[in-house]
Structure 1
Amino acid sequence: MKTLVVALGGNALLQRGEALTAENQYRNIASAVPALARLARSYRLAIVHGNGPQVGLLSLQNLAWKEVEPYPLDVLVAETQGMIGYMLAQSLTAEPQMPPVTTVLTRIVVSEDDPAFMAPEKFIGPVYSPEEQTQLEATYGWHMKRDGKYLRRVVASPEPRQIVESDAIKLLLKEGHVVICSGGGGVPVTGEGLGSEAVIDKDLAAALLAEQIDADGLVILTDADAVYENWGTPDQRAIRQASPDELAPFAKADGSMGPKVTAVSGYVKRRGKPAWIGALSRIEDTLAGKAGTCIRL
């Protein structure tokens, strides 16, 4: 049986602008789980999920209690791994004919000298109106950037370098478990094992995971059904198959499709194995080449 790493976009857990409630997250997870369960019957499956809205919520809740110093981001990322991993595991386990499902708290090594620490770019938390920027920055000391027509907090997002628990993940997959791991991009730690104030990009973490466990393929699921040429124009066209070099113009750090293209292209170049970008609702068609975008050498 082949091994597949699937990166689950934040839209599968929470829609943009939706209230950050447990009920809403369970409802969105319920719509994602049947497709993941079908994959789990055909592949050894490792699932990586995002955590942008959730880690931002925990950070806000963290600030509300003034009696103690706020917890750092690495601890909050670990909390989101437990929260989201539990919710996904509960929902997946309820599906018929499911193999065992295990959530692994996952640490990922980053460099203390990564330039991302000097230029925060990773969106976390809820959206705000642009008029709130001055007050939010003054109150919390946050860095804020535009996300479409809204405003969101941004934090450092260093490059993932090594997954500490990769051997444990490989062992669980070999034993037939569906493994939920590297959630929220993994808990960022330095080479000395110290926690780092950052949130790693989950697509880059998924690509690194696919490399370290020698997966047979990498799938990044998003709310867009493919990579498009001339997006937003009358001439837009879905790209069904391309090489990393052909997709290079789309690898822009724009907070949307660019990081996904960067992640899959790096994996394909380094490992020589295929990767896909597509919509969760059409995952089987994407793997069959009937939907989404397949990236090959």
Structure 2
Amino acid sequence: MLQSELDGKRVVVALGGNALGETPGEQLKLLENTSKNLAHMVKEGINVVVTHGNGPQVGIIDEAFEVASKDKDAQVPPMPLSDCNAMSQGYIGAQLSCTLRNEFRRQDIMREVANVPTHVVVDADDPAFKDYEKPIGAFMTETEARVFAKATGYQVREDSGRGWRRVVPSPVPQDIVELETVRDLMEDGCVVIAAGGGGIPVTVRDGVHTAVDAIVDKDLTSAILAWRVRADILVILTAVEKVYLDFGKPTQKALDAMAVSEARAYMEQGQFAPGSMLPKVQACVKFVEAHPGGRAVITSLDHAAAGLRGETGTLIVADEK
């Protein structure tokens, strides 16, 4: 795709965990590099909303409050997971806003940045509140995880071959509360940071919003956001340049493109790891099914601009009728 063809396009970019660190200092350094790549995308002339994960960060915040609250001398109250989620949105968004503004200044890009703490509506009866599966916090060995679970009463689970982590409910997002705000800022030309960590989940009854302790998958929220703002492209950035079949095996094969029906067949075959590539492909499928005129791309952060132009990455599109 030529640069001129991207001018004015609406794009939602979902940052993977490789764009963030596990400490504020490490995160800031990584976000400086992330902002360089995002700036290259913005230079293409797009109107962009950036979403991001918060798995390690929200877990660290939650654990810090839990430890501090047990110290009677510290006088620190326990903090609900929903509020830890909000805190992670705030400080990740603040760092990303700052690094983006600095990079825009270096590249002479005249764009404003707006960080919007975001709530997402979930169903109070979602089965996820009974079957915990969303990993958060630091990685542990199995022994450490079992000791941690016994001491805290939390649930733990092995995470995609990378180690053990705490798991929490992950209900399916239904809607985005601040949607109109995000859309208005996007239409005004702002680079918007929204739905951090998948958003703060709330249930709604009789018009009353109530925060719940859970973490929503940021890729699924990104898909809804992209559909609701009528984005032309959803870009999900991860650690690899393309999606692979038989990933990590001698028969590994990169995919340049998938139609929705092909993606569903691969998912049924178990080609994509849960907690890793699977939710990203699921999110792309949901987006293009809801918005058949849109396209979804999965690629790495370093190849973000090229993926946006259609030069690399894995493209997911609706089936031809």
**How does the TM-score come out when normalised to structure 1?**
0.95
* Corresponding position: 1:119 with 2:131: yes
* Corresponding position: 1:5 with 2:8: no
Equivalence for 1:103: 115
Alignment map for 1:206-221 (pairs within 5 Å): 206-221=222-237
Please give the per-residue CA displacement for 1:77-123, whole angstroms capped at 9, x wherever unaligned: 11111000000000000013330001001110001000111111111
Q: 1:253 to 1:194 in 2, by over 3 A?
A: farther
* Corresponding position: 1:278 with 2:294: no
Instruction: Name the % identity.
Output: 39
Which of residues 264, 277, 298 in structure 2 aligns to 1:257? 277
* Corresponding position: 1:50 with 2:62: no
User: Could you tell me which amino acid in structure 2 is paired with residue 170 of structure 1?
Assistant: R
Cα drift, residue 133 of structure 1: 2.6
What is the CA–CA distance in structure 2 between the aligned matches of 1:284 and 1:40, rounded to whole Å? 9
Q: Which has the larger radius of gyration?
A: 2
Which of residues 191, 199, 204 in structure 2 aligns to 1:178? 191
Partner SS state of residue 78, structure 1: helix
Q: 1:100 to 1:22 in 2, by over 3 A?
A: same
Equivalence for 1:156: 169
Q: 1:250 to 1:13 in 2, by over 3 A?
A: farther
Cα drift, residue 290 of structure 1: 2.7
Structure 2: tracts of 5 or more residues without a match: 1-7, 70-74
User: Could you tell me which amino acid in structure 2 is paired with residue 263 of structure 1?
Assistant: A
What is the CA–CA distance in structure 2 between the aligned matches of 1:115 and 1:250, rounded to whole Å? 25
Q: Any conservation in 1 of the 2:146–2:156 contact (CA below 8 Å)?
A: no
Which of residues 247, 254, 257 in structure 2 aligns to 1:238? 254
Cα drift, residue 65 of structure 1: 1.9
Equivalence for 2:72: none
Equivalence for 1:17: none
Partner SS state of residue 209, structure 1: helix
Aligned residues: 292
Cα drift, residue 235 of structure 1: 2.0
**Greater shift in the superposed pair: 244-253 or 3-12:** 244-253
Please give the per-residue CA displacement for 1:144-189, whole angstroms capped at 9, x wherever unaligned: 0012151100000100001000100111011110000000000100
What is the CA–CA distance in structure 2 between the aligned matches of 1:190 and 1:94, rounded to whole Å? 37
Which of residues 157, 166, 189 in structure 1 aligns to 2:202? 189
Cα drift, residue 68 of structure 1: 5.0
Point out 4+ residue stretches in structure 1 off by more than 6 angstroms: none
**Greater shift in the superposed pair: 246-255 or 173-182:** 246-255
Q: 1:182 to 1:248 in 2, by over 3 A?
A: same
Structure 1: tracts of 5 or more residues without a match: 15-19
Partner SS state of residue 75, structure 1: helix
Equivalence for 2:34: 32
Equivalence for 1:269: 289
Please give the per-residue CA displacement for 1:10-61, whole angstroms capped at 9, x wherever unaligned: 11102xxxxx322101111111111101212321010000000000000111
Partner SS state of residue 211, structure 2: coil
* Corresponding position: 1:71 with 2:79: yes
What is the CA–CA distance in structure 2 between the aligned matches of 1:287 and 1:294, rounded to whole Å? 10
**How does the TM-score come out when normalised to structure 2?**
0.88
Partner SS state of residue 209, structure 2: coil
User: Could you tell me which amino acid in structure 2 is paired with residue 81 of structure 1?
Assistant: Q
User: Could you tell me which amino acid in structure 2 is paired with residue 288 of structure 1?
Assistant: R
